[in-house]
Amino acid sequence: MAKELEIIGVMSELGAGTRGASLGLDALQVASLKYDRSFFQRHPEKKVATLNHRLYKEVQEPYAKRLDAIAEMYRRIETTISSSLKKGKFPMVISGDHSNAGGTIAGIKRAYPKKRLGVVWVDAHADLHSPYTSPSGNVHGMPLATALHEDNTVCQNNQPEEETIWHWNEMKGSNKRVLPKDLVFIGVRSTEVPEQEIMKRYNIPNITVEESKKLGADKTVEKAYSHLKDCDIIYVSFDVDSMDPSVSEGTGTPVPGGFSEMEVRNILLGLLRDERVCCFEMVEINPLLDLKGNSMAEAAFRIFKPLYESLENQ
């Protein structure tokens, strides 16, 4: 039976260090005019209201910038994703910055509280910081720490304010939404010491770009899922900065040495063939940083469309 897909647009960019990720869905829709003009007419998106107007206010929480607003976005995203899943739909989430993924994970766990959730994180970054460790205070580097319920005070560099700690604990919830052993990285190549310490402490696997290129897409998927064999459901998160900047620099934090468009598309297609996958998210398209017109969104659409059609026909 074919899956009933639901495109959900979450264009919050509160967690990013640069502006423009809130335009990612618009850029993707512009890209669709070049390749499939009626795609978003056939598959209209449901939008989660953002709090991006808070960007006009001065930052009050330097170790986790705009955390009060991001905590509210977590609640909004959690409610939307949970509702979609409870209706039997498959959320295809198009997000602004990667902080939103923490809310998505919360929504999945709210819908399936008794199921063991595995996460495949296709990204150049590990996003395992907390307000206690972040060198930038940008919350798009923290969503997995909320999912793992991890402060990492062993590597503490900062002294967050009481209000920051309160919102941070709220976002983490009462316990781990994801066990560290149920997380797999693909393509991570830019990390700081506190993140490296968590990865080492919990032995979180990272299938590097170089290793994946040697293995090929099918074996990369097989290796990732060998780590998640005991999970009941799986969430796949795709940050476009997992691709090499030669594809496009239209993302907040491009890192050399990434995947080609074809490589990452084939990996994602393989990942989404697993029946346990219940949600997919694509993040961090930033057309304001694109040096080649709308090339990142065009590459992202060329990836998103076959993923959508593959799921639709499963």
Q: Contact 14/141 with Cβ under 8 angstroms?
A: no
Q: Contact 110/177 with Cβ under 8 angstroms?
A: no
Mind listing the pLDDT tens digit for each residue in 80-126? 999 999 999 999 999 999 999 999 999 999 999 999 999 999 999 99
**pTM of structure:** 0.98
The DSSP line for 190-224 is: B--HHHHHHHHHHT--EE-HHHHHHH-HHHHHHHH
| CATH architecture for segment(s) 5-312 | 3-Layer(aba) Sandwich (3.40)
Q: What is the pLDDT of residue 83?
A: 98
Q: What is the pLDDT of residue 185?
A: 99
Task: Supply the DSSP symbol for 1.
Answer: -
Report the distance separating Cα 94 and Cα 88, nearest Å.
19
Surface-to-core class of residue 210, CB atoms within 10 Å of its CB (0-12 exposed, 13-18 middle, 19+ buried): exposed
Tokens of 160: 């967050």
| Sign of the torsion angle spanned by Cα atoms 54, 60, 66, 72 | negative
Instruction: Tell me how many degrees the CA angle 46-47-49 measures, rounded to the nearest 5.
Output: 150
Percent of the chain with pLDDT over 90: 98
Using the predicted structure, report yes or no on whether residue 2 has a pLDDT greater than 80: no
Q: What is the pLDDT of residue 1?
A: 54
Residue 110 CB neighbour total at 10 angstroms? 17
Q: What is the pLDDT of residue 31?
A: 98
Of 7, 8, 16, give the one whose Cα is nearest residue 285: 16
Q: Cα dist. 268→105, 262, 304 in Å?
A: 18, 10, 9
Using the predicted structure, report yes or no on whether residue 44 has a pLDDT greater than 80: yes
State the DSSP H helix or E strand holding residue 282, giving kind and residue range, or none if neither.
strand 277-283
Tokens of 87: 């209706």
Using the predicted structure, report yes or no on whether residue 298 has a pLDDT greater than 70: yes
Using the predicted structure, report yes or no on whether residue 276 has a pLDDT greater than 60: yes
Q: What is the pLDDT of residue 221?
A: 98
Report the distance separating Cα 302 and Cα 288, nearest Å.
19
Q: Where are the domains of the chain?
A: 5-312
